[in-house]
Structure 1
């Protein structure tokens, strides 16, 4: 071999030699017998789990984009059509008949084609007839199950097909299309509209919000950092056995550089095998994603297609990182022919350079303190770099902290002494196991603080008094209010119903200059929305000083004998009913009542039932506000079923005291979904790491058992070995997380407030994951603690 190299140019000969050393390491990874294969498999599983999550992460942007495209492609309500389309052979009438079932939203549309060329919704082959419906696979499964019996009462139409993937935004979406007729008289641009094609004709881009962009950046960094840490730890599985093999290589003549290249080749082999495992895990996870729903988010497997460029980056970066991590780890190890110096007392770790990493991160973030959302976007590179350096600082500081603390731990029981001595000999290995969970908890605490701090900016009050009503039922104008309200009162779990018929009245039949609302209800209902001195059936009131009326003074319209028009027409809109109404004698004055059911004070005219002529009914739509006994199971679904029985287009709205911005909610949901995946990776990787550690100590455990050590003592020592580093890691994670959270809040211009409940919950989740992993590792530990483990070849 040396003679052949001599005939080649020196640089080329060196390159061939280095490549040969790397390939020798690859051969050692796969030809080292059962031990070699076990180590390679453990490394591959650890790396593969990280690679799978990285691939899933790179597929997330594409999945979100596809969901958005599918949602946009089936858009049928644009809420911008002041001019309705005329009826033609290519038009379709669409009614929004969506509902809720328990905590799930059900998207529903009633369809009435007006010609042979009416547009089909995406995912449908033909229109369902009246009495038929086409449903999503998830809704079909629900309707055919026992828990869906109550929803089946609300959707009694015969199922004639399922919606195709192109018409759904996720595999778990609940959606249906049903046939309908006689929708044309109800066109209003809101509940019923006429369209000639599906899709948003005027898509608009949302204005960028610097704080939301900052949230997205930090979420991605926080979710991906633990993955990188776990991959770095996985390529170092079996480090002690590897070093002993390298010492044997030194004994037969290899120099230190060749030895390190061979070690890098072993790591490279494990990383490449991990890429293969990761691709397999990704394909399995991709298929499982089609059957799973996390925080109401579901996708089809076809959505999860990683960007080719990002996938290539993962394929190159993971093996390169494996080689780099191995070479850096061996810099502090002296491998000699007769052993590894690491087995002796290692040199104490230095603190100064470990502090530079978080300080550098703070230095990158500091210039953006106080920017808020009014001083332009945050520099994404500085934000990413600062957060990464702070979280990497956790991985740098934790080994020093573990080493310093365990060196000072005193004496105790046998289990304690075994655990402490093991930690003193290999504190670096213990810290590597905990690094990933510490980074995840630190990032989660910071995000929890940031979300809690800016939550108020994206949450606003609805004005709805949920202590007086919890559900609102809106009825079409042709539905008589009195019998409908009676049916609602008789519904199980309904304690009270406040019903009103409402419309708009103007001073002219067309294009009125002044207008106000007209509300019809009994005295008990009217007292919920206005302060009345006295009330009897037949009275008419005008509300003075209501905020709802703005600049219009309804008392100027309340002149006895004056003719007003209910449901007046406006230029550019279809002709309305224009029903005349004469103001009667003896109109009483009322004052608005604050804290109304509908979220704002009610103005205009208030009529009791006897004061309303039957001619006005077609222009009035019904509203019922219900107070419920929420101890009754599924009480809201009982109300929805009753409303659907009253009229198919009845809309049931569940009230809430506050509502959040959709984009803020989407980012928060994305964080929860990502955190769930990362926690699953943390648990799986920790378990693999724990099993690898136990495998390396198999002979030692067997020797202790052979000398009479109780299995309970050894099990307790393993628990202490895990508990001490995790306690230190979680403490460090809390400090770093609170620091990062404080800086991020100052960057957004938000007062700093520590959400201690969130901090404790994040810390508790991290501890629970480690405890679960430790408990799962006890059965293998008991199998390893047998005298037969002393046998060797």
Structure 2
């Protein structure tokens, strides 16, 4: 047999079938191998996996908290609606029965905190109970929320305890509270009547009257959501790339034993997938660990019950696959820039410079999308999706611009001190990891600047000057009925109160001209104010005044309104004070305006308004004759006296617990606007905390990868302080560049959004505090990372396995 015959296969030998497993089976095996590398890669593999899972877990925790917000708000609205009484919303009067009660709002303030409450007087033996109250408190008793009980038992609550004056006999359960830290009480009364401002109700619970959200606020809310969530997504994408250098060296070893490039990428995807899945579990565990602690945390006067922190199932179903898909996509994209060969990873060659043109497409596209939204007005129906998409494109575009900017700046850095040279060389070799570490803070600062610009631009629409003059009077006390006795008690009681420098009280009502109803169907009507001469001088320019005088007050520049006052207040003719009920029959009460009444000009009073109509002294008209009147005291306090306002509130509660005490302010904020501002502060605080934690994890991961290099430098005599300064510089430089980019991007985004809502830029310098916050975060992170750096510079870092 020849050699050729020996090489030829026998004719009778059957061909060997080539077994090719299915593609899905192959991919599953490669992904499983990646999971094995993540779990069985020794100490280094587990450290990388744990860092990735911790980073992803922090982001998932915040996403789960954000997904719980709808349930928290719904539960809060349900509790608020459950304790609403029908009479408060203008429903038909409720007849008295054994199952009704009379109530009045007894809300007060204590050192800036709102203390909500009601006075209750049951009409029979089966009154309705407020939510969370197990038993109706008797006269002189009250049930309080746990937070209020704690305050009353503390030394700091002594003045409030004196003001409320009732004995605590029970606790309001969670069903009757908006949040765990709410201060609220229900007190029993045996003197409350409808004549004193009380309302009768047959039960609690009513649909809340919700006003539509202002379109401007919709724009602001959408922007806030984007600003708070985009940094979280970027941080999760960054965490997936922790330990990339060691992973690439493992993949090079696989290439050496025959794996192709596609298979190494699938293995890397499996490793990232496992870390992300573990991060989901870590995030869920952290969420469950933080959840019981939420009730004891109150940020910017906002808290929540732990039981209400339930993520929306639809959002959870979106978060879980989004995190897993993002982990795979980010890993595959990262591997495109790395050449993994059997003999190593090609990183030593000079990399190709990053291109700028495509990085500009994202922010330009975002601005274009926002420009297509058009003008948003107060009556415009706002579509939130284009606004959210445009803002996301602009902010994500900043993260793509940052690596190019860092690379372009550090490329020309030469010379300088040794720490600076070490930092510059490190950034020149690997600027991508440094850029990724600060991308989250760049987006957060840019978004915060844009939000603050829009917030400031809307300021004038939601904050109005009310004209109150705290330099003349800073507190007003009102009762829902008129009484000469109450007026005098207010005047005397407040003048003797500690910290009060002046106090005046008046009784106010309306008067109508008697006679047939005119053709237009409206009888001439004006106000009637009764007070002493000292009081009336605060309301009008009086030439002279004595008890028994009357005046007709006009407002300068309002001729039509003054003519209407003169139609009602005709000197020498009667006016109708109102109707008293005698045996259930309305009986009109008439009073003749003296012919000697003089016309005077109104002045702006401490409440910020000018009062026209009839001004009378007690000698001319007894306030007791005024049905449906209002008694009001105006008070000025000495700001140098501590708790002067609290002493005034205590005096008001002692005179009549149904009085309302209000402090004067120069401005008044819209409630929706204020609540959005509160949400911005709470969310911004949480996001900044996450960014600080993420940067710390990223910093430690980078130091761990350079442990051998740090040990070599120390072994050659490099001082540790030099290495510490180099770490600071190589972290601070990308942060400074990222902050500059964030300022430019934030100002641009804010200007575009303000142009959308036709508002002007109120302040171009709003970026200063946010830029300072970013720099403060990096200084804090660097300081906290110094102890791990010191440990990594030990000689044992030269050991190798």
Structure-2-length-normalised TM-score: 0.93
Larger Rg: 2
* Residues 1:55 and 2:64 are matched in the alignment: yes
Give the C-alpha shift of residue 244 in structure 1: 1.5
CA deviation map 1:372-412 (0-9, x unaligned)? 345x3333222121111100101100000001101111211
Distance in 1 (CA, whole Å) between partners of 2:71 and 2:624 is 56
Give the C-alpha shift of residue 51 in structure 1: 0.3
Is contact 2:507-2:623 (8 Å) kept? no
Q: 1:638 is matched with which residue: 636, 639, 647?
A: 647
Distance in 1 (CA, whole Å) between partners of 2:356 and 2:472 is 61
Bigger CA drift: 244-253 or 261-270?
A: 244-253
Equivalent residue, structure 2, for 1:652: 661
Equivalent residue, structure 2, for 1:589: 599
Is contact 2:528-2:613 (8 Å) kept? yes
* Residues 1:353 and 2:353 are matched in the alignment: no
Bigger CA drift: 285-294 or 470-479?
A: 470-479
Bigger CA drift: 325-334 or 140-149?
A: 140-149
Equivalences for residues 201-600 of structure 1 within 5 A: 203-374=208-379, 376-475=380-479, 476-478=481-483, 479-508=485-514, 513-545=523-555, 550=561, 553-559=564-570, 561-568=572-579, 578-593=588-603, 595-600=604-609
Distance in 2 (CA, whole Å) between partners of 1:260 and 1:742 is 43
Give the C-alpha shift of residue 25 in structure 1: 0.8
Equivalent residue, structure 1, for 2:137: 128
Equivalent residue, structure 2, for 1:3: none
CA deviation map 1:78-108 (0-9, x unaligned)? 5443752221122121110010111111111
Equivalences for residues 153-232 of structure 1 within 5 A: 153-186=162-195, 188=197, 192-200=198-206, 203-232=208-237
SS in 1 for 2:296: coil
Give the C-alpha shift of residue 286 in structure 1: 1.8
CA deviation map 1:126-182 (0-9, x unaligned)? 111111111111111111112212211112211111111111111111111111123
Equivalent residue, structure 2, for 1:94: 103
Distance in 1 (CA, whole Å) between partners of 2:598 and 2:91 is 36
CA deviation map 1:293-316 (0-9, x unaligned)? 111111101111111121021111
Give the C-alpha shift of residue 210 in structure 1: 2.4
Distance in 2 (CA, whole Å) between partners of 1:502 and 1:611 is 14
Distance in 2 (CA, whole Å) between partners of 1:576 and 1:297 is 49
* Residues 1:706 and 2:715 are matched in the alignment: yes
Cα distance, 1:498–1:509 mapped onto 2, change above 3 Å: farther
Is contact 1:448-1:755 (8 Å) kept? no
Q: 2:38 is matched with which residue: 29, 32, 38?
A: 29
Give the C-alpha shift of residue 777 in structure 1: 1.0
SS in 2 for 1:160: strand
Cα distance, 1:71–1:7 mapped onto 2, change above 3 Å: farther
Distance in 1 (CA, whole Å) between partners of 2:586 and 2:295 is 48
The total of aligned residue pairs comes to 777
Is contact 2:216-2:376 (8 Å) kept? no
Give the C-alpha shift of residue 617 in structure 1: 6.9
Give the C-alpha shift of residue 456 in structure 1: 0.9
Distance in 2 (CA, whole Å) between partners of 1:175 and 1:162 is 10
Equivalent residue, structure 2, for 1:661: 670
Distance in 2 (CA, whole Å) between partners of 1:690 and 1:780 is 10
Give the C-alpha shift of residue 242 in structure 1: 1.3
Is contact 1:508-1:568 (8 Å) kept? no
SS in 2 for 1:290: helix
Distance in 2 (CA, whole Å) between partners of 1:8 and 1:509 is 111
Distance in 2 (CA, whole Å) between partners of 1:117 and 1:339 is 84
Equivalent residue, structure 2, for 1:71: 80
Q: 1:678 is matched with which residue: 687, 691, 702?
A: 687
Cα distance, 1:615–1:104 mapped onto 2, change above 3 Å: closer
Cα distance, 1:343–1:174 mapped onto 2, change above 3 Å: farther
Distance in 1 (CA, whole Å) between partners of 2:739 and 2:492 is 59
Distance in 2 (CA, whole Å) between partners of 1:510 and 1:7 is 112
Bigger CA drift: 653-662 or 276-285?
A: 653-662
Distance in 1 (CA, whole Å) between partners of 2:192 and 2:515 is 25
Gaps of at least 5 residues in structure 2 are 1-15
Cα distance, 1:656–1:549 mapped onto 2, change above 3 Å: farther
Is contact 1:463-1:600 (8 Å) kept? yes
Is contact 1:558-1:587 (8 Å) kept? no
SS in 2 for 1:564: strand
Q: 1:791 is matched with which residue: 778, 783, 799?
A: 799
Distance in 1 (CA, whole Å) between partners of 2:464 and 2:17 is 79
Distance in 2 (CA, whole Å) between partners of 1:80 and 1:34 is 66
Distance in 1 (CA, whole Å) between partners of 2:131 and 2:74 is 17
Cα distance, 1:575–1:738 mapped onto 2, change above 3 Å: farther
SS in 1 for 2:311: coil
Gaps of at least 5 residues in structure 1 are 1-5
Distance in 2 (CA, whole Å) between partners of 1:522 and 1:576 is 30
* Residues 1:717 and 2:726 are matched in the alignment: yes
SS in 1 for 2:64: helix
Distance in 1 (CA, whole Å) between partners of 2:561 and 2:305 is 49
Bigger CA drift: 41-50 or 631-640?
A: 631-640
* Residues 1:38 and 2:43 are matched in the alignment: no
SS in 1 for 2:319: helix
Is contact 2:65-2:311 (8 Å) kept? yes
